[in-house]
Amino acid sequence: MEVRTLLQLLAWERGWTYARFRREYEKAAKELSAAAGEPPSTATVEEQTYRRWTGGRVRGLPNPPAPEILEYMFGHSARALLSAPPSRESPPGASFVTTINESDLAMTARDAASHAGDAASLSVPDMTLDQLDDDIVALAREYSRTPPFEVYRRAKELLSIAQSMLERTQVPRQRERGYLAAGQSAAVLSAICFDLGSLPAAVSLSRTAALYGQVIEHGPLQAYAHGALAFLSFWGGRPAEAVRLVRTAQQFGGLGDTAITRLLVIEGRAHGHLGDHAAAQRAIRNALEQAPDRGTNSTMTSAASSGFRVTEWP
C-alpha cells in the first residue's frame, strides 16, 4: 500500500490503530497543557479527521492545538507530518511491510459510501428539467410576438435557472441537459441583444452558447452559435470573418436541412458583400439544393431574411 504521509508511516511503524492514536493524542494534549500550567486539555481527534491527516487530504495546517500536539507526539513539524514521507534507502536484505487492519478497511468503506451518498444527493428532479426545456422552446416560438424587454427578462431568468441546476446536480445525464438549456438560453439572449442594438453583448452571448455546446459536444448548438456569430460578424462589417465562422459551423454534426440552408444563406450574403459573386451564387445554389421540396420563392425569402432565427433550432 502506498504511504501517503509521514504521519501515516510513523503510525504504522508503531503499530497504532486509530483507537491507539486517539488515546496517545489525548494524552499528549493533557501533558502539554500541564506543562504550560493550563487546565487539562480536552482536545481529541475524530476518526474521519485522522484518516484525512494520514491520507494526505489536508491543505495547509489543521487548527490549533493540533499542530503542536502532533509535533510533541512525533518530533517532526506538523507540515512535515502531513506531507509525503521522505524516500528512504532500505538496507540490503531488509524489507518494509505495511499492514492493514480492520479499522482501515471499515473507514475506507465508510468514506466510499459517504462520497457516493453525497453524489447521489446532488441531483434535481427530471420534471424540473422538463419544465425548463418547455419554457425555452416556448420562449423561442413566441419570440417574434413578445416584447423585447420581456424576451430579455425571461431568457435571462431561464439562463439563471439552468446555471443553478448545474450547480445542484452531479448526474451526468442531467448535467448534459443543463448545459444544453444554458446554451439555448444564451442563444436567445444573444438574439434579443442584437435586436436591441447591442452587438458586443450579442457576440459575447453567442460565444457563451458555443462554449456550453462544446462542453457537452453538442453539434447543433455549436453550429447554431457559430452561425449566429457569423451573422453578427456580417452585420459588424467583417464578411470574411463571417465566411470563416460559417465554414466552422458546417463542420459540426447533427444538422438538419433548415440549419444547413441558413448557414448557406449567411455564407452567400457574406460572399456577396466581399464582391465574390461566383462564391455567392454557389452558396445560393447549394441552399436551393438543400431543400428540394420547398419552392424557389420560399427559399429566396429565407435568403433575404435576417438569416438566423431563434424560432428554429438547428
> What gap in Å lies between CA 256 and CA 291, rounded to an integer?
10
* Digit-coded pLDDT (tens) for 97-132: 445 555 555 555 655 655 555 555 568 889 999 999
Confidence of residue 60 (pLDDT cuts 50, 70, 90): confident
* Model confidence at 304: pLDDT above 50: no
15-29, 99-113, 116-130, 213-227: segment of lowest average pLDDT: 99-113
Q: What is the pLDDT of residue 185?
A: 97
* Model confidence at 20: pLDDT above 90: yes
User: How far from 33 is each of 22, 36, 37, 38, 159, CA to CA, in Å?
Assistant: 17, 5, 6, 5, 56
Residue 294 buriedness (CB in 10 A; 0-12 / 13-18 / 19+): middle
Give the mean pLDDT of 40-47: 91
Q: What is the pLDDT of residue 90?
A: 43
- ∠266-268-271 over CA atoms, to 5°? 110
Average pLDDT, the chain: 84
Give the mean pLDDT of 130-151: 94
Q: Which three cell numbers stand for residue 182?
A: 444554458
Confidence of residue 313 (pLDDT cuts 50, 70, 90): very low
The distance in angstroms from the start CA to the end CA of the chain is 53
Residue bearing the bigger pLDDT, 91 or 249 = 249
Residue bearing the bigger pLDDT, 310 or 154 = 154
> What gap in Å lies between CA 112 and CA 65, rounded to an integer?
29
Percent of the chain at pLDDT > 90 equals 61
> What gap in Å lies between CA 129 and CA 134, rounded to an integer?
9
* Model confidence at 88: pLDDT above 60: no
Give the mean pLDDT of 32-37: 92
> What gap in Å lies between CA 284 and CA 270, rounded to an integer?
11
User: How far from 119 is each of 113, 116, 124, 166, 270, CA to CA, in Å?
Assistant: 10, 5, 12, 13, 49
* Model confidence at 168: pLDDT above 70: yes
* Model confidence at 204: pLDDT above 50: yes
DSSP string, 121-186: HS---HHHHHHHHHHHHHHHHTGGGS-HHHHHHHHHHHHHHHHHHHHH---HHHHHHHHHHHHHHH
Q: What is the pLDDT of residue 256?
A: 86
Cell 425548463 belongs to 132
26-40, 104-118, 198-212, 254-268: segment of lowest average pLDDT: 104-118
Are 187 and 209 a contacting pair, CB within 8 Å? yes
Give the mean pLDDT of 158-184: 93
> What gap in Å lies between CA 299 and CA 309, rounded to an integer?
15
